[in-house]
Structure 1
């Protein structure tokens, strides 16, 4: 959820504004909103004047852009619409879409301009919608409406006939930073505490919707499944023996004076050993200045809040109870990963936002390619997307007892637009092994699959339905994981699930700092032949409209001087009728 994409929608005629609502920018000139905001005074008509203000009016997230708009798509029988702006509003990254699953209620967020949030001057202000979305509850229309139970709701209106939530229609609904629906109505039977949202899955597959997105250079939305994390299981309490009761009673008597002293110190404003102020360590709640919360010995002890650092979707984050995605965090394996290319040429692309970082190498008339300059290696590690995917060579060492690997999966998957700032095509530095597992990252739920024998690419059967990998202590297993895409870019982590002693655990592949390692891959606008079978006609059109700003390839005319990268016409790396010129 990006405040820079918030939209204030106002529609009417020459006499003035007739309806007000909310929306969300999903492309430089496309705003998603509710259809009923745009409907004119006559059936099947639209208001002649629509004005949209894009951006958060608080002033903390950049400017607010005012633009005229027209209805570009508004299907019959569905309360959703796309507005086309008169001018572009550029916001980095693309919108990520999702579909709630499971049985546990999910936390949700949104931004809107409801009437109950008007200031003293009568102007509508932003309300951050928040509450829970119970995925099994339906708001009608064959389960195409989600129920949104509000954490904070207005009281009865002072003026009869005024709807406090009027103006919230059209607001985008997010679960774990995935757009899952659009607010369309209020449930009047719940004292202003319940809204209804049209599910994204009910309209993103519409041909006309996808056609409009395609005309604006946007790909077909991929709906990622999103569900509430499992409830933590508390550890069993120790037996309530008489000795334990006596011990706890003595401990309580001992602690009581210390607690009282702490209260006294706090009351008179003196530091004490419990608040950390006498040691120079930061304290206090999570904030922009203290993003990780209280710190002890330089290590975060309280996780970053969702507002301070949104979690990528499907990310099985380590929590305070030591679990990863609901599974105990494992330590019985040592996972070491190196990344190589899927092809003979090692393509790496960067986003336009990263061009400033690349100034040192883009300024070189010829870039040494074998070996790469040290600064190029650093840039790739920091921000490079590998084309059209990555071969992750994973070395798994058994460190403690016998384990059985039951699943290897990409997690924390975040989709991006194909990065078109700059691309570098280096000679492949190898990796050598044939992939044992294939992951099609364009699949809504990518799983490890066996590559069909004798083919360059394709969807084989799921690997772990018939295979298990068993390691004894001291043994080593080498695996090759092929992550590929033909449609967009992704960042993700890799997690390994295994069982040991009858318990299932999960471990991340980590970086040098011990944090979950980030892998980046992207589709190539000029894909190699083995990938083209996965392209649809729509994919070809979409890729054909893409061009890199900067392209560096091997200088074929000076190979006797070694491998060097020189500037190349970006038009030579674009799709054409022959698939690649």
Structure 2
């Protein structure tokens, strides 16, 4: 998405119908204390624009709200991801599509006064530095070809990528904050999605727009875990235990036993849940996984492991077992559910 504000054009990413995620400085007021000015969002390459307003902001991230009907396309909610493994030999590959200033194009004759200027979208492909996965920012080391144009002196060839979404496969893992200056420094600093989901207000706005609470998935374990069910108006979705159509009830004792088991001092352990069909085994596992993975607002978070969000998922029986060694490099506890074992 393109984001236009106060005469400048930068990037954004649709995260739910009517919501665009971008950087605060892309839409921020010229002076501290001033109100946010009017802005517009649109599909890159399309002349159609939708008026947008700032619905939420914190540090250097902002959510813009627009009317979905104002743009000629329907948008599905994104899936949110987090880099949970540190493996220098297998870094997480990511891509961000934005509008770097060096990709500006011009058409027309300046003497006649008819010069048209625009910026071509560019894909910055690279890997997240392994040492940054647990910090406040992700560092995307770009190794794709730089834009053909000349950047401003002292800036990065990727300057202007602010607000672009950083994706690992189909999961949004971060939003670009800035391109680190320097012609030879092809590095983008990005705000991890987990920091956004630590904000209750952010999650409330996304939930109202998408109909579901945003949840983090372990992005670099996507080849091991089944993808969660996506909301659809079909009986197959409503009847599936993993859709959590109805509230969890009736197995509180078993849930507490499993929760205590997860927080035992053993580093690796296996528990078996058995019972007749339809008793609620899958629903029990879904509830345990959800509660372990739930993120709390930063004001409520503590350093002890009992309050630390886990990586959770249902093992895909078709997964390539050559991906299993990634589990050696986990930076947070993990719950792996094997349904119909």
Q: TM-score, normalised by structure 2?
A: 0.65
CA–CA separation in structure 2 for the residues paired with 1:424 and 1:182: 34
Aligned pair partner of 2:60 in 71, 75, 79: 79
The answer on 1:111 being equivalent to 2:97 is: yes
Deviation per CA, 1:160-218, whole angstroms, max 9, x where unpaired?
36653232100000112211100011122572411100111112121221222233244
Any idea what SS the aligned residue of 1:83 has? strand
CA–CA separation in structure 2 for the residues paired with 1:128 and 1:36: 21
Deviation at 1:412, TM superposition (A): 2.6
Any idea what SS the aligned residue of 1:160 has? coil
Deviation at 1:483, TM superposition (A): 2.7
Question: In the alignment, which residue of structure 1 is the partner of 2:12?
Answer: 23
Query: Greater RCO between the two (CA within 8 Å, min separation 6)?
Result: 2
In structure 2, do the counterparts of structure 1 residues 48 and 492 end up closer, same or farther at CA, with 3 Å as the change threshold? same
Question: In the alignment, which residue of structure 2 is the partner of 1:495?
Answer: 317
CA–CA separation in structure 2 for the residues paired with 1:201 and 1:424: 30
Q: Which structure 2 residues correspond to residues 38-187 of structure 1 after superposition, within 5 A?
A: 38-54=27-43, 56-57=44-45, 65-75=48-58, 78-88=59-69, 89=71, 91=74, 93-104=76-87, 105-121=91-107, 122-137=117-132, 143-152=135-144, 153-154=146-147, 157=150, 159-160=152-153, 164-187=157-180
Q: TM-score, normalised by structure 1?
A: 0.40
Aligned pair partner of 1:412 in 214, 226, 238: 226
CA–CA separation in structure 1 for the residues paired with 2:275 and 2:255: 22
The answer on 1:211 being equivalent to 2:204 is: yes
CA–CA separation in structure 1 for the residues paired with 2:272 and 2:315: 21
Aligned residues: CA RMSD: 4.1
In structure 2, do the counterparts of structure 1 residues 423 and 202 end up closer, same or farther at CA, with 3 Å as the change threshold? same
Answer 1 or 2: which has greater helix percent.
Answer: 2
Question: In the alignment, which residue of structure 2 is the partner of 1:402?
Answer: none
Q: Which structure 2 residues correspond to residues 154-553 of structure 1 after superposition, within 5 A?
A: 154=147, 157=150, 159-160=152-153, 164-189=157-182, 191-227=184-220, 314-316=222-224, 411-416=225-230, 418-420=231-233, 422-423=234-235, 458=255, 460-461=257-258, 465=269, 482-484=281-283, 494-495=316-317
CA–CA separation in structure 2 for the residues paired with 1:465 and 1:100: 23
Deviation at 1:44, TM superposition (A): 3.1
Any idea what SS the aligned residue of 2:204 has? helix
Deviation at 1:87, TM superposition (A): 4.2
CA–CA separation in structure 2 for the residues paired with 1:35 and 1:45: 13
Deviation per CA, 1:522-581, whole angstroms, max 9, x where unpaired?
xxxxxxxxxxxxxxxxxxxxxxxxxxxxxxxxxxxxxxxxxxxxxxxxxxxxxxxxxxxx
In structure 2, do the counterparts of structure 1 residues 110 and 158 end up closer, same or farther at CA, with 3 Å as the change threshold? closer
Answer 1 or 2: which has greater strand percent.
Answer: 1
CA–CA separation in structure 1 for the residues paired with 2:152 and 2:200: 43
Unaligned stretches of 5+ residues in structure 1: 1-6, 58-62, 228-312, 317-410, 429-438, 443-451, 470-476, 498-503, 506-518, 520-581
In structure 2, do the counterparts of structure 1 residues 47 and 162 end up closer, same or farther at CA, with 3 Å as the change threshold? farther
Which moves more between the two structures, 216-225 or 95-104?
A: 216-225
